[in-house]
Structure 1
Amino acid sequence: MKVAIFGSSGFIGKNLVKSLKLKTDVQEVSVRNISWRNNINIDTDVFINLVGKAHDHKGTATEKDYYFANVELVQNIFEVFNKSTADLFIHISSLAALEEFESTKPLVESDECNPFSVYGQSKREAEQWLIKQSLSENKKLIIIRPPMVHGSGDKGNLGLLYQLISKGIPYPLASFNNERSFISIDNFIFYIEKIIERYDSLESGIYHISDNETVSTSKIIEIIKEVLQKKIPDISVPKLIIKKLARIGDFIPFPLNTNRLKKMTSDLVVSNQKINVALNVRKLPFSAEEGLIKTIKSFKK
């Protein structure tokens, strides 16, 4: 089995390459190289696309930048796949293509999409384009929608919470109670490896992956404090006051705004039943809590 991975330089890509190299022949393909199309091994079996733009920490990215990375490059890579002898195309999309803030029920693949940001909208457009394509004979297209992926090397929101607690700053949103889906990098890789092993049992289409259990933000704070062995009290600021402060952040520079508050305190749960049934997965390598503990411990190194 030979696997070509596109976009291997990021957090997920580095971890995935490291794991897959233990079991199969992996080629890392950089689309920054203008001759990348000619560099792909001719006998590649699987294309895995991780190319995309998610975060704009410098605030300089344009809408065109997002659509180039999340749509145009996806189209280019898929077209090369469809003309190749490879059998399987795994495209890593995002839950943001479906929903970015909250849901009152576990989200399934057939739910109506409601992307909010340019990132989510571009991810959804790529999904729609891929689904419309005619696959060459014996080929399969698997689109994966993960929620937030965390693990060693992660520079996302978990790291920000860790920095907050490590400095002894109390968590001010303890009055909110929520449940959210996450996926550890170990469980993410487990799903990818199972898809490669058993793709004959999958139909082409969209699949959600996530940890089997949900976790609240307050539970994450509790785990961080346990790992750090810090006894820091949480602050239960009344919800009404927090929401008013968030509205202020919608208009002036402020650490909290309405959208950020929703992401930190609302329910957003994913159903992974479809892929678990298709792959006959009954247990993941790590529970949600075990995965979070492993990730948070990696921040101490």
Structure 2
Amino acid sequence: MSGPRVLVTGATGFVGEAVVFRLLLDKKFTPVAAVRASTRLSGLCRVVPFDLDLDLPTALPVLEGVAVVIHCAARVHVMSETAVDSLAAFRKANVEGTVRLARRAAESGVKRFIFISSIKVNGESTGRNMPFKATDLPAPIDPYGVSKHEAEIALRQISLETGMEVVVIRPPLVYGPGVKANFLSMMRWLDRGVPLPLGAIDNQRSLVALGNLTDLVVACIDSPAAAGQVFLVSDGEDLSTTQLLRRMAFALGKVARLLPVPVGLLRVVASMMGKSGVVERLCGSLQVDIRHTREVLGWHPPVSAERALRQAADHYRDKQTR
């Protein structure tokens, strides 16, 4: 394998592993997987240990000879927080850990640092047909979004001080083969025919297929136009929660059993149960405008939402039959 060496952190994660496999498939770059645990990537590419724990300063990977770092590793957003001070925990990994890695990268001669951030830097929701733009003033609300925003600020400063190019990518919800968390729960409900009170939701949500995100990441590795940019990414097609459930059910070969419960009633019941945040994520809109990404890079999402949902469904069914 030849080509510039590209180190991917979080290479055992959902996004990081997909990026490594994409690099292996393209054969244009030489991927190096930075991981915290054993991985099926062993034997396919060089694997180096990596940990974001600030108490383990020797855990940073050796970066000599690496041209580009793609930083996917992070303390991710969780629904059930266990840390006493969640913001401090997010800052430790997502800000301080990122800064340590970026400074090591700059000192080692890395030319470009690609940071997988989050649309939560822009905020939690949008008005209908009022999408987030890359030029919007950041307005993060939860600790995860705040930590990603602070990391972006720190990376821009490091870039100014060292000349290392920084590229920021802010994805919304990422889905695809092997997706976990709420998206996986949704597939399980649909597969089992569970009736869901989500048949009357007329919101608009931007999502990004794993294949589209990895395609953009790879496009940012050597594009001169990407340096110093913030890119929003999506499938280029927004769906309501109801539409998403119906399409996912179709991909699974099932019929979505959706009850047309009014959104107002859902909000009242959720408030009584202390689950207002869950209902807002299901009923609210979050749209992103990817025109800047398209125009600067000449990029377009290569995978349709229909195809991506089918890929996720096929992977899910394959797992169920094993």
- Give the aligned partner of residue 2 of structure 1: 5
Q: In the alignment, is the contact (CA less than 8 A) between 1:3 and 1:44 conserved in 2?
A: yes
Conservation of the 8 A alpha-carbon contact between 1:82 and 1:135 = no
Correspondences of 1:175-190 after superposition (within 5 Å): 175-190=200-215
Match of 1:195 among 215, 220, 223: 220
Calculate the aligned-residue CA RMSD, in Å: 1.9
Q: Which residue of 2 aligns with 1:254?
A: none
State the partner residue of 2:166: 141
Q: Which residue is equivalent to 1:13?
A: 16
Deviation of 1:225 after TM superposition, in Å, equals 2.1
Q: Partners of 1:191 and 1:162 in 2: how far apart?
A: 26
CA contact (8 A) 1:101 1:259 kept: no
TM-score by length of 2: 0.85
Greater relative contact order, per chain length (Cα 8 Å cut-off, separation 6+): 1
Which whole-Å CA distance do the structure 2 matches of 1:162 and 1:34 have between them? 40
**Matched residues in 2 for 1:242 and 1:271: separation?**
28
For residues 309 and 162 of structure 2, the distance between their equivalents in structure 1, rounded to whole angstroms, comes to: 41
Deviation of 1:232 (Å) = 4.3
Per-residue Cα deviation, 1:182-235 (whole angstroms, up to 9, x for no partner): 11111111101111131x122403211111111221122112221333334321
1:265 equivalenced with 2:265 (yes/no): no
User: What letter corresponds to residue 288 of structure 1 in structure 2?
Assistant: A
Deviation at 1:145, TM superposition (A): 0.4
C-alpha distance in structure 2 between counterparts of 1:41 and 1:72, whole Å: 18
Q: Is the 1:4–1:40 Cα contact (8 Å) retained in structure 2?
A: no
d(CA) in 1 for partners of 2:24, 2:59: 21
**Partner Cα separation in structure 2 for residue 141 and residue 213 of structure 1:** 28
Of 65, 78, 88, which aligns to 2:112?
88
Match of 2:30 among 3, 25, 28: 25
Give the match's secondary structure for 1:80.
helix
For the residues of structure 2 that align with 1:58 and 1:271, how far apart are their CA atoms?
30
Q: Secondary structure at the match of 1:35?
A: helix
Shift of the alpha carbon at 1:49? 0.7
Offset, 1:57: 5.8
Identify the residue that residue 309 of structure 2 maps to in structure 1: 292
Calculate percent identity across the aligned residue pairs.
25
Counterpart amino acid of residue 145 in structure 1 = R
Alignment of 1:134-283 (within 5 A): 134-135=159-160, 139-198=164-223, 200-250=224-274, 257-281=275-299, 283=300
Name the counterpart of 2:64: 42
- Are the equivalent residues in 2 in contact too, given 1:82–1:136 (CA < 8 A)? no
Stretches of structure 1 that go unaligned for 5 or more consecutive residues are: 251-256
Verify the 8 A CA contact 1:94 1:147 in the aligned structure 2: yes
How far is the alpha carbon of 1:293 from its aligned partner? 2.2
Task: Structure 2: give runs of 5+ residues left out of the alignment.
Answer: 35-48
Superimposed CA distance per residue, residues 32-78 of structure 1 (whole angstroms, 9 cap, x where no aligned partner): 275344x4241110011112111336632342221111111011011
The aligned length equals: 292
Residues in 2 aligned to 1:230 and 1:201: alpha-carbon distance in whole angstroms: 44
CA–CA distance in 2 between the matches of 1:232 and 1:44? Answer: 48
2:42 equivalent in structure 1 = none
Contact 2:122 2:139 in 1 (8 A): yes
Question: Hey, what does 1:52 align to over in structure 2?
Answer: 74
SS at match of 1:135: helix
CA distance in 2, matches of 1:54, 1:290: 26
